[in-house]
Chains A and B, each alone.
Chain A
Amino acid sequence: MSDSVTPPPRPRPDATTTDPAASRAKDHSFWNWLLFVPIVVPLIPALFNADSPRFLGFPRFYWLQLAYILLGVATTTLVYQMTKKRGGR
């Protein structure tokens, strides 16, 4: 199949991380569907296009959209932790 079986130039730190079937299963995790939340929510203007309530002087339009950054970070971190190959489930 492969036209070259020469070992890679760099050391292989852990040969057990490379089982393609295992990583494939992980790539199709149900946790991945969570990623749609931070894609869809920031694109609904009805949620944030208003002045009140203000927070530290920021209209809702600004503080809520900045807060969506935390939503994005939390989601990607959760999905990463849950689908990680080692230490995950």
Chain B
Amino acid sequence: MWRDHLTEIIIFTGLFLLVSAMGFVAARWRAPRDMAHLDEWGLGGRNFGGWITWFLVGGDLYTAYTFVAVPALMFGAGAAGFFAVPYTIVIYPLVFLVLCRLWSVSHRHGFVTPADFVRRRFDSPALALLVAITGIVATMPYIALQLVGIEAVLKTMGVTGDTALARHLPIIIAFAILAAYTYQSGLRAPALIAFVKDTLIYVVILAAVLWLPQRLGGWGAIFDAADAKFAASPNPNDGVLLSADNQLQYVTLAFGSALALFLYPHSITGVLASRNRDVIKRNMSALPAYSLLLGLIALLGFMAIAAGVKPLPGAREGTVDSNTVVPVLFDQQFPDWFAGIAYAAIGIGALVPAAIMSIAAANLFTRNIYKEYLKPDATPAQEANVSKITSLVVKVGAVACIVFLDPQFSIDLQLIGGVVILQTLPAVALGLYTRWLHRGGLVAGWAAGMGLGLWMLYQIPNAATGRKHFGGSAFPLADFGFDTKKTIYVGIVAVLVNLAVAALVTLALRAATVADGTDGTEPDDYFADEGDPRVTPGGAPGADAAREPVG
């Protein structure tokens, strides 16, 4: 009953209203002379310094869903869920140099999206369209998942209804407010709110890891409780350590997820909003603070085991909603007022990434579909306007996904999303270093990787829920004819095939001397920094160089 959780609900609502007010005020924060430009609405003026970028990108990558789903995975499967830690360690050295190149070339040419870069680099609107659509398709379910994070919290506070509409009403209201201030303030809103969100998260998690182990008999007892639970379960692949068969999956999932993370449009939006290369490099050293946080959050899953948490029932009879593990743990172990703060941290934690993701998806639509195909002579002000409206549409779509479809569908889609977005790696990431791959080869590789990845995901059953397809991302190598029980992350296989096909088709097209277009970038563009005299001012009429070949 919600009345038992009144204190929690009041604190949750109060903090939610506070950040909503901040979201609207953000329009005037570091305000430009002219907000009617996509650089301002969609990239916050491309002028964020080290601290803002740290909060913004941290709030962007480590989402509410992560905070809810990773401990839920630890609760259910043990060590395999800890992949999030190596994943978020490997990512920063991996992209340390790559993102600087992307930032520089985007700064020099006024690119707003990764697809803008691909179009100019490979002289191929078709390839750019593929990259844009891939980005939008991968991002949409991710936004919907943020709602799953909020729902887990609301459910624990007893805010449920008898009808589908009543149950979803709080989320619809929350997203309507989010949509309104994102519309008004653009990227400045999540940047400002991220300060509150991350402060709350750090406070809650530090309190949890200092306070809960004492109540539960110490860390040793927590790990032993988890060990006992997994030893009693019939599943051979759970446990506090990895089994012989899931180590390959663990490593490839961590590495593949790291490769995918900065291909997501919302990550790139956060990076492009920074002021210069130095800000990015310093952040690559500072962002792992969030990885430590994530590692501790993951261990909340084991604390829930030690505390004997029972997750709340799921949407259908006989299922459990494992995403409620952490909220229930807080409800049991914390005083009401502090549980309220913790829930607010998760709820607000959903708003920041949801806002950035919808902005990133809207920018992709505006730059690579609207401006490319519908209205090539759009002014920067018209671009900003289209992006604002698209961000509203995207959010309505995300809410509709949750209200009208089984939330499990969004979770499946997000799983697919990682595999899907990885298929833009050859064009976006390798494209920053080499133009050797032919644009035709890149399209062929994309199609091959996408086809194989989706087929593999379709083949994977989920024993726990009894579903036959899309049951996970661990593909049994036995299905390829190997005599082993080992599994591997689908995304890695798909992207390797993608690269191989891209290379073979490139050789074939070169042999047939098929035209390869003109590279619109120069080697020096990849090192341009703040204050580069060659930078095209985005605001000048007719100076949108990203749309014209360089002379």
Contacts and interface: CB of A to CB of B under 8 A. Distances in A.
Interface of A: 1-10, 12-15, 17-18, 20, 23-24, 27, 32, 35-39, 42-45, 49-51, 54, 56-59, 61-62, 65-66, 68-69, 71-73, 75-77, 79-80, 84
B92 interface: yes
A20 B528 contact: yes
A3 B96 CA distance: 30
A50 B94 CA distance: 26
A65 B74 CA distance: 15
Contacts of A14: 531
Given A2-B534, A65-B82, A32 B241 contact: no
A23 B282 contact: no
A38 B284 CA distance: 12
B550 A2 contact: yes
Contacts of A57: 213, 218-223
A61 B226 CA distance: 14
A57 B240 CA distance: 13
A9 B90 contact: no
A66 B533 CA distance: 43
A62 B241 CA distance: 9
Interface range, B side:
35 or more
Nearest to A50: B241
7 contacts: A4-B543, A12-B533, A32-B96, A32-B97, A35-B97, A50-B241, A80-B282
A13 B531 CA distance: 7
B89 A54 contact: no
A13 B96 contact: no
B242 interface: yes
Contacts of A77: 285
Contacts of B241: 49-51, 59, 61
Contacts, number: 162
Contacts of A27: 97, 100, 527
B522 to A, nearest CB: 8
B416 interface: no
Nearest to B247: A45
A55 B432 CA distance: 43
B530 interface: yes
A34 to B, nearest CB: 8
Interface in B500-551: 522-524, 527-537, 539-540, 543, 545, 548, 550-551
* Residue in A5, A14, A15, A17 whose Cβ sees the most chain B Cβ within 10 Å: A17
Leading 4 A-B pairs by shortest Cβ distance = A57-B219, A57-B220, A12-B531, A42-B86
B89 A68 contact: yes
Given A23-B527, A65-B89, 10 more contacts: A3-B550, A4-B536, A4-B540, A43-B86, A45-B250, A51-B240, A57-B219, A57-B223, A62-B82, A73-B288
Nearest to B242: A49
B181 interface: no
Nearest to A43: B251
B86 A73 contact: no
Contacts of A43: 86, 90, 251, 254-255
Contacts of B288: 69, 72-73
B247 A49 contact: yes
Nearest to A20: B524
Contacts of A3: 536, 543, 545, 548, 550-551
A23 B371 CA distance: 34
Nearest to B222: A57
Given A9-B539, A17-B531, A58-B219, A35 B82 contact: no
B545 to A, nearest CB: 6
A1 to B, nearest CB: 7
B352 interface: no
Nearest to B39: A9
B291 interface: yes
Contacts of B255: 43
Contacts of A76: 92-93, 96, 281, 284-285
B70 interface: no
A11 to B, nearest CB: 8
Contacts of A61: 79, 82, 240-242
A72 B281 contact: no
A37 B100 CA distance: 20
B348 to A, nearest CB: 25
A77 B295 CA distance: 21
Nearest to B542: A4
A48 B452 CA distance: 32
Interface string B58-90: 000000000000000000000100100110011
A4 B97 CA distance: 28
A18 B240 contact: no
Contacts of A4: 536-537, 540, 543, 545
* Residue in A44, A68, A71 whose Cβ sees the most chain B Cβ within 10 Å: A68
B93 A72 contact: yes
Nearest to A40: B90
B184 interface: no
Contacts of A66: 85, 292, 295
B299 interface: yes
Interface string B273-304: 00000100110111010011001000100000
B382 interface: no
Nearest to B255: A43
B459 interface: no
B251 A18 contact: no
A73 B291 CA distance: 11
Given A4-B543, A59-B240, A72-B288, A38 B90 contact: yes
Contacts of A69: 85, 89, 288, 291-292, 295
